[in-house]
Amino acid sequence: MYANSLLTPGTGLIIWQAIIFLLLVILLKKLAWKPIVQSLKIREESIQEALDSAEKAKDEMAALQSDNKKLLEEARQEREVILKEARDVANNLKEEAKQDAVKQAEKMIEDAKNAINTEKQAALAEVKTQVAELSLQITEKLLRQELKDEKAQKALIEDFIKDVKVN
Q: 100-151, pLDDT tens digit by residue?
A: 999 999 999 999 999 999 999 998 888 888 887 887 887 777 777 766 777 7
CA distance 160 to 153: 11
Give the pLDDT score at 89: 94
Contact assessment for residue 101 and residue 93, using Cβ atoms and an 8 Å cutoff: no
What sign does the dihedral 159-160-166-167 (CA atoms) show?
positive
Three-state secondary-structure class, residue 149: coil
Contact assessment for residue 141 and residue 135, using Cβ atoms and an 8 Å cutoff: no
- Per-residue confidence band for 167, with pLDDT thresholds at 50, 70 and 90: very low
Give the model confidence (pLDDT) of 62-111 as tens digits: 999 999 999 999 999 999 999 999 999 999 999 999 999 999 999 999 99
Q: Show me where the domains of the chain are located.
A: 2-166
- Per-residue confidence band for 165, with pLDDT thresholds at 50, 70 and 90: low
